[in-house]
Amino acid sequence: MKQNLISLALATLLVAPLTHALDLGKLVDELNKNPDLVNAVSGAVQNTIDANRTIGPKEEAAIGDGLAANLLGAAPLVNDAALQRYVNQVGAWVASRSEAPNLSWRFGVIDSPNVNGFATPGGTILITRGLYQKLNDEAELAGVLAHEISHVLLHHHIRAIQAGKGREAMGNALQGFASYKQGDTARQIGANALSGMSEVFVRGLDKDDEYEADIRGMALAARAGYNPYALVSVLQALSAINPADGTVQLMFSTHPAPNDRLNKIDQVVGDKLERYATGAEETQRFYRLK
Amino acid sequence: MKQHWISLALAGLIAAGASWADSGTLIRATPLKQKPLLDAATVSELPANSRLNIVARKGAWMQVKTASGQSGWVKLLNVRTGSAGSGGGGGLGTLGKVITTGSSGTTVTTGVKGLSAEQIENAKPNFAELDKLKQYQVSSGSATSSARQAGLGAQSVPYVAYTRGSASGSNTDATSPMNRRP
Ligand SMILES: [Zn+2]
């Protein structure tokens, strides 16, 4: 009910310049009778303005940390320090070949049998144990991480939150930034705003974001000395999984079908990166997870 | 040296593991090459929709065995796996429904919300675990020397241009002009 009143008031405010002054006067009267509504309306307007503006790197990092903490609340890290260190070595190397080598890049494998990967704004990237176990060599890992790194570089998640359901939650988070104390700003965002923004991981990105991350990720993997076509092998392995299998449901519902991604790579990349196909595939340091 | 080859072959067998019996379908007519090289001899010309058993992968190539027992190499990107074969749509259509919102052109796919979607929706932030994650972070200097030790070398590779809004062909949403960006 309150929600309804707010949107009604908001709608009226938005068309206000076109309407009769008398109507506006009525609205002001109404608002005067109900101070809660005044606060709600001005808050919502302020949040909308905040959610529209360009998000700075510090805010992106804080929001990303909060989103990563939320994902880690859903599934903690695999308790294997050697695995986590290895994934950071590979990921940081690939990211160092990007246009943003100095972002705070962090990587982790989370303990879920589901097959999925998550990029959060600012450079924290999580992949599931289920996905890691599908990988045959380091070039395939690099291909997956390069895809996620590309989402970060292109600000895909921040933009999807701004354009989608998490918009108001992000407005709330951003409005708070001014008042946050120095230090760990991610903790000050609040669980509700984090939960609202985390919706992006359930709804997914635009298909174009996914194709773009595949295509740029392949070049990035090649820059790091890997065979860029290893991503093709990963997508072929994903395509072979029965979509009814519970471990792929969220990934398949938030990404274009693997075969659509392969078709796009075929169409856009084709043989353009073949001169780098002699890049590394297997490495001695590849960490096999049972 | 021989020892090395044997362990390599063994490692290969172990790595192949689950993918041992994998099969694929050609999406277009393709020459079957004796070696993973464009100028290698052609074993035979394979028609589109040929079923193949996947033996190995190398670079941009896939080693395959045909139904008639011929062995050779084809380009990776000419092969699709899974029951959908050359259809390209995967099995997604049976799972979810694509909803396109007109104004933004944003496409989201909804469908069966698996347990993990609920887990994400109901999650409470775990900052202790985030602190743990931060401890594993490595500097790009450390990653670079580790990569060098692993035999990796930096290459200079330009990005391949991708035009957004060019989504076409096999996508369920491709018919909607609302979904195309200028
Ligand atoms: Zn993605």
Q: What are the domain boundaries of chain A? A: 2-176+201-276
Does A145 contact chain B (CB < 8 Å)? no
- Judged by CB atoms closer than 8 Å, whether chains meet at B125 and A70 is answered as yes
The CATH number for B61's domain is 2.30.30.40
Between residues A155 and B22, which one has the greater pLDDT? A155
- Shortest CA distance from B62: residue in chain A: A233
pTM: 0.78
pLDDT > 60? residue A32: no
Q: Is the ipTM of this complex over 0.90?
A: no
**C-alpha span between A198 and A63 (Å, rounded):** 10
From residue B100, how far is each of A250, B105, B110 by CA, in Å? 18, 7, 10
Q: What is the pLDDT of residue B78?
A: 98
Q: How far is the CA of A33 from the centre of ligand 1 (A)?
A: 49
Between residues A93 and A22, which one has the greater pLDDT? A93
The whole-number average pLDDT for the span A156-179 is: 86
- β-partners of residue B111 are B96
Q: What is the pLDDT of residue B166?
A: 65
Nearest CA to A193 out of A62, A28, A83 is that of: A62
Between residues B102 and B155, which one has the greater pLDDT? B155
- Shortest CA distance from A230: residue in chain B: B59
Q: What is the pLDDT of residue A46?
A: 61
Q: What is the pLDDT of residue A29?
A: 52
Between residues A9 and B63, which one has the greater pLDDT? B63
Q: What is the pLDDT of residue B89?
A: 37
Q: How far is the CA of A22 from the centre of ligand 1 (A)?
A: 51
Using an 8 Å CB-CB cutoff, list chain A residues near B105. Answer: 206
Does B31 contact chain A (CB < 8 Å)? no
- Chain A / chain B CB contacts < 8 angstroms: 296
pLDDT > 80? residue B129: yes
Q: What is the pLDDT of residue B144?
A: 98
In a domain, B75, yes or no: yes
| B:68-127 residues touching chain A, CB 8 A cutoff | 75-77, 79-84, 87-92, 94-96, 104-117, 119-127
In a domain, B108, yes or no: no
With a pLDDT cut of 90, the percent of chain A lying above it is 66
Instruction: Find out whether A111 and A131 touch, Cβ atoms under 8 Å.
Output: no
pLDDT, tens only, B163-172: 998 654 443 3
User: Nearest-CA distance from B126 to chain A in Å?
Assistant: 5
- Shortest CA distance from A136: residue in chain B: B15
Residue to test with chain B: of A259, A265, A268, most B Cβ within 10 A: A259
Does A188 contact chain B (CB < 8 Å)? no
pLDDT > 60? residue B16: no
**C-alpha span between A67 and A83 (Å, rounded):** 22
Residues of the domain holding B71? 2-101
Q: What is the pLDDT of residue B116?
A: 73
* Cα atoms in the Cβ-side hemisphere of radius 13 Å centred on A172: 16
Q: What is the pLDDT of residue A53?
A: 72
Domain count, chain B: 1
Q: How far is the CA of A205 from the centre of ligand 1 (A)?
A: 8
Lowest-confidence region among A17-26, A122-131, A218-227, A231-240 = A17-26
The whole-number average pLDDT for the span A243-267 is: 94
pLDDT category at A26 given cuts 50, 70, 90 is: low
Q: How far is the CA of A156 from the centre of ligand 1 (A)?
A: 9
Q: How far is the CA of A215 from the centre of ligand 1 (A)?
A: 11
pLDDT, tens only, A62-115: 999 999 999 999 999 999 999 999 999 999 999 999 999 999 999 999 999 999
In a domain, B83, yes or no: yes
pLDDT > 90? residue B59: yes
* Cα atoms in the Cβ-side hemisphere of radius 13 Å centred on A90: 30
Instruction: Find out whether B98 and A254 touch, Cβ atoms under 8 Å.
Output: no
Q: Among B57, B119, B157, select the one facing A223 at the smallest CB separation.
A: B157
Give me the helix-helix angle, A57-74 and A167-177, nearest 10°. 120
E-strand ranges in chain A read 106-110, 117-120, 124-128
